[in-house]
Structure 1
Amino acid sequence: MADVRRLSAFAARPVLVVDDSKAQRKILQMQLTRWGYQVTEAASGDEALALCRLQDFDIVLSDWMMPGMTGLAFCEAFRTLPREGYGYFILLTSKSETNEIADGLEHGADDFLTKPVSAAELHARLRAGERILGMQDELIEKNRLIGSTLGELQKLYDSLDRDLIEARKLQQTLMRDRLRDFGAGKATLMLRPAGHVGGDLVGSFVVDTSRIVVYSVDVSGHGVASAMMTARLAGLLSGASPDHNIALRVAPDGGRDAWPPAIVAARLNRMMLEELQVDQYFTLGYAEIDLETGFATLVQAGHPHPLLLRANGAIERLGDGGLPIGLIEGAEYPQTSFRLQPGDRLLLVSDGITECPNAAGDELGSDGLIALLKHNSMLHSQDLLEALLWDLNTFAGGGVFPDDVSGLIFDYLGPS
């Protein structure tokens, strides 16, 4: 009685009994029905195969020796049929030789029962088959759940991918003007995020009729959080909204003036630590340039050294290194002054260029960047930035850059 209760959990499994003996089929049918199975009978292998093409049977009990198609041939044909789940196949036979049993297993049989069939042994073989079918049912259900979950994840990924594409478009608008003409000078900008969005930003803004500012920012990381920070910084360093520009102030005469670069860096550092209180930090290259005299003041806050490309071909490193912004409270940022002559160019780049590795893991470095610049020094600034990207890609061995890459070149033409 206990065995019947245990098998009741598998009730209603479809079972096919195949035997040319009607009496043998009847005996098996009665036993299986009593244990809760749905039993279908077939008198030959051909008839059984036809039934299997119409219905999936979880368990098949088939005699080995039958007229026409033998049980072994039926088993082999049964395994070739398309079906959703597994079918457990038991051969009923009087054969007991090892090589014959091996032949049956080779043709797809799962188990054997010796005729005449013992009810207790049949019961035990069915329980073994039920365990296998149960595990297979569980696996199918888990695969279904995995497939369903993957489908939901794909929908979320597609939605996120669309949002990131739109975010990339919006981030590109932060530097809508890739070439800006100030009369006495021109700023050329380049930005290549490593992913959909990134943490680099380059830009410029006007202080007054004779002064401008150019800057390069690299926020730690290069994902969505970094992109949101660059959007915030773009607003704080925007010429379109001077009232919100953290670098601008009102002059004593009521006109517009600018804080010195060192003060701008300190104000940004205080804002990061006291107001935003985020785990991010950023590096900054920031230069205020007098268009009439060419005199410039620079602050380098953890950013790669700005480079001064002289008209005569010489290249000078500028800046004293400095600390990144948003790491240390009360950090001080030293200023560097220099003078631009007509034909000189100021280059600001992110560390996505100087720290770009090659296949061996060696970084390009500042010396490598200078070598690339000398190789392309005859090019105009826009072409120079494109050539720099091309050469950097060659150095890295092709593919996607591991970090955001950005740069800005300011060409000083001199007062007209």
Structure 2
Amino acid sequence: MTLPDPDGYKQILPNLPEAALVEELPDNDFKAMLTSQGGTLLFTIRPSETSSGLVVLGSRPRGLNYTGADLEFGAGLVAQAGVAFENSWYVRETLERKKIEQELELAASIQEKLFPECLPSLVGYDLAARNVPARQCGGDYYDALPIGNAHHKSGRADERPYLFCVADVSGKGLPASLLMSNVQATLRALLGRLPSLAELAAHANELLYATTPANKYVTAIMVQFDPQIGMVRYVNAGHNGGLLLRAGGEHEWLKPTGTPIGLLAGLPYEEASFQLDPGDLLTLFSDGFPEAQDVSENEFGEARLLDYLRGVRDEPAKTIVHGAFEEVDRFAGAAPQYDDITMFVIKRTA
């Protein structure tokens, strides 16, 4: 028997008895449809609280009538079949979920390789970075890319300029990680081809605007750093995360100098600059830090982050970074991490 409009009868299923003769059902279109197709006996498949299907039998051979024992026996068989159907569904769902988890694990391992294996070793500087996604894959990104030839003016490879960046793609999970890989490829393709950081940001903006959905964009802070003289030039593309902590205790937040990348086309970006002196600490981070919440939905906040950095500024960069994540974990307590978290520390030691 084939139902002409299965979806149209779904609302009737919860009200049907476990077993019944079709002729005893209330007069309605559903009964008329069953009768027109020779349906005589009806069983409802109900393995749990929700009805999931029907078993309809035609007339018995040789004109015999169905008895109460037939209804009871048939209801028992259908109940067992319903449990088997449900178990089969759970098995398929479990296998499908396992397949998805395996694919996500593979995507996460691929994404992990997009981050630098190690940060450059720069004489007079201490660098450290870390990323912890909220899910298996994330939309945060950090990088350290050499600019120009393998050797700088001094002839020393560890003194060439670098591009340091932290970026945060809108959204979370696998879609954000795919866009993050696009951001990485774009920056690496454009780096060294353009005369300024502002033009790099502008070109990246046009490329991402043309190739991503309207609701997808990237906030980023990009730092061009010359370790020979400690000069920092940066573009802040709608990103919140940049803090300069001076050796004397003064601090400065690196304010936005342009819109998020990929959000709007044709807008310019400005560069800002400062000198990183001995004892200064530059921290780049994603909004997962200040926006981390505890169980009462209180935010960690930039003020708490600043207080933490003031207290550990004399520690090695790696200790500062890992301690920051521990600080957020203590603050959040039992609250789950709902956003990706990234931090990149550049500390001038001499």
Q: TM-score, normalised by structure 1?
A: 0.62
1:216 is aligned to: 166
Q: CA deviation at 1:396?
A: 0.9
1:247 is aligned to: 191
2:29 is aligned to: none
2:246 is aligned to: 310
Q: CA deviation at 1:277?
A: 4.7
The aligned runs of 1:66-77 (5 Å cut-off) are none
Which of 277, 290, 293 is the aligned partner of 1:357?
A: 293
2:256 corresponds to 1:325: no
1:335 is aligned to: 271
Q: Once the two structures are aligned, what percentage of the paired residues are identical?
A: 24
Do the aligned partners of 2:293 and 2:335 also contact (CA within 8 Å) in 1? Answer: no
Q: CA deviation at 1:343?
A: 2.6
2:309 corresponds to 1:373: yes
1:194 is aligned to: 134
The aligned runs of 1:52-131 (5 Å cut-off) are 126=68, 130=71
SS in 2 for 1:216: strand
For 1:221 and 1:316, the matched residues in 2 are separated by: 28
2:86 corresponds to 1:152: no
1:230 is aligned to: 180
The aligned runs of 1:270-289 (5 Å cut-off) are 270-277=206-213, 279-289=215-225
SS in 2 for 1:394: helix
Letter in 1 for 2:87: G
SS in 1 for 2:120: strand
Residues 246 and 36 (structure 1 numbering): CA distance in 2 closer, same or farther, change over 3 Å?
same
Letter in 1 for 2:181: A
Q: How many pairs does the alignment contain?
A: 287
For 2:342 and 2:112, the matched residues in 1 are separated by: 12
SS in 2 for 1:354: coil
Q: CA deviation at 1:171?
A: 1.3
1:171 is aligned to: 111
For 1:175 and 1:154, the matched residues in 2 are separated by: 32
Letter in 1 for 2:313: S
Residues 134 and 289 (structure 1 numbering): CA distance in 2 closer, same or farther, change over 3 Å?
same
1:382 is aligned to: 318
Letter in 1 for 2:209: L
Q: 1:282-320, CA deviations, whole angstroms, 9 ceiling, x for partnerless residues?
A: 110111112222121111112114111222333321223
Residues 34 and 338 (structure 1 numbering): CA distance in 2 closer, same or farther, change over 3 Å?
same
Q: CA deviation at 1:139?
A: 4.5
Do the aligned partners of 1:8 and 1:35 also contact (CA within 8 Å) in 2? Answer: no
2:283 corresponds to 1:347: yes
Which of 390, 395, 414 is the aligned partner of 2:331?
A: 395
Letter in 2 for 1:356: A
User: Which 5+ residue runs of structure 2 have no aligned equivalent?
Assistant: 1-21, 24-37, 43-61, 153-159
SS in 1 for 2:184: helix
For 1:170 and 1:229, the matched residues in 2 are separated by: 14
SS in 1 for 2:293: coil
Letter in 2 for 1:361: E
Q: Point out which structure has higher relative CO (alpha carbons under 8 A, 6+ apart).
A: 2
For 2:80 and 2:249, the matched residues in 1 are separated by: 70
For 1:377 and 1:7, the matched residues in 2 are separated by: 81
User: Which 5+ residue runs of structure 1 have no aligned equivalent?
Assistant: 11-32, 38-122, 239-244, 250-257
Letter in 2 for 1:213: L
For 1:8 and 1:290, the matched residues in 2 are separated by: 86
Do the aligned partners of 2:165 and 2:221 also contact (CA within 8 Å) in 1? Answer: yes
Residues 367 and 8 (structure 1 numbering): CA distance in 2 closer, same or farther, change over 3 Å?
closer
Q: CA deviation at 1:384?
A: 0.7
Q: TM-score, normalised by structure 2?
A: 0.73
Q: CA deviation at 1:371?
A: 1.6
For 2:115 and 2:167, the matched residues in 1 are separated by: 12
Residues 259 and 247 (structure 1 numbering): CA distance in 2 closer, same or farther, change over 3 Å?
farther
SS in 1 for 2:321: helix
Q: CA deviation at 1:176?
A: 3.6
Do the aligned partners of 1:342 and 1:412 also contact (CA within 8 Å) in 2? Answer: yes
Q: CA deviation at 1:190?
A: 0.3
The aligned runs of 1:3-14 (5 Å cut-off) are none
